Amino acid sequence: MPKNEESNLNIDIYSLDKECAEQPQKMADAGMVYARAQYVYLGAKLNRDERIALVSTDARQNPQRYGLEKITDKSVSGAVTINDDVMKAEKDVINANLLMEQAKASRDAWMQRSSLLKCEVDLWLSNYYANSSNQKSSDKDKKIKERKKAIQ
């Protein structure tokens, strides 16, 4: 997940209204990125499968082009495996899979943020932060300033 996105996952507990208002759009954006990544991945797989089929058919029709003396499933499979177009298509599938998994991790992080945001709202509604008697007021102010500084 990109570093700037990680910082966007932070929740400013002193602006929960803003955080709650922005969360649906952030979730929708993460979902769209994931959907696009899935689309690219499936397209890459389809392209790879087409390349394999084309090379396999061509190897059976023109075995000399692939250096095959006999047309067997094993020899055709070997010719397909080392074909430059097939290898490039396979690398494209691997790269698309990586991007899809990263997008999925991002989407999952935004879903987790939604849950954490709900917990923070519940804590505010139950006056958790107001009734914290274990800290002196100046300590609370200091921590509030530190949190706000860390969020920015």
Q: Which tens digit of pLDDT belongs to each residue from 82-103?
A: 999 999 999 999 999 999 999 9
Q: pTM (2 decimals)?
A: 0.75
**Domains of the chain by range and CATH?**
12-151 (1.10.287)
Q: How far apart are CA 33 and CA 105, in angstroms?
A: 11
Can you tell me the mean pLDDT for 117-143?
A: 75
State both tokens at 87. Answer: 């290898």
- Report yes or no: 90 and 115 within 8 Å, Cβ to Cβ: no
